[in-house]
Amino acid sequence: MTSEQKYFLAGFGLLSVILLFAGAGLADNGYVGPDKFLWIQSIALFIGLFALAGACEKVLGKGLAEFKTTSLWWAALFESDISH
């Protein structure tokens, strides 16, 4: 894994954590309701799982390369958007 890829995945992981805590702070102070906080949590979870799947794909290398894990995550996202 190149350093550029490491920084990219680390950035996504950090974004996920920041989004989760920022959403919790906004909900705690009453700026967003529970329904919007659920959306913030869902987005943070998706970004975090995307970063985890990308890291696993890069670390495991050729053994996992044929599965294209990150492509499956994006397909799942678009499928859920289309079905609603």
Mention every residue, 6+ apart, whose C-beta is less than 8 A from residue 69: 53, 54, 56, 57
Return the pLDDT at 67. 60
pLDDT one-digit tens code per residue, 1-45? 778 888 888 898 999 999 999 999 999 999 999 899 999 999 999
Q: How many CA atoms lie within 13 A of 63 on its CB side?
A: 3
Domain boundaries, the chain: 3-83
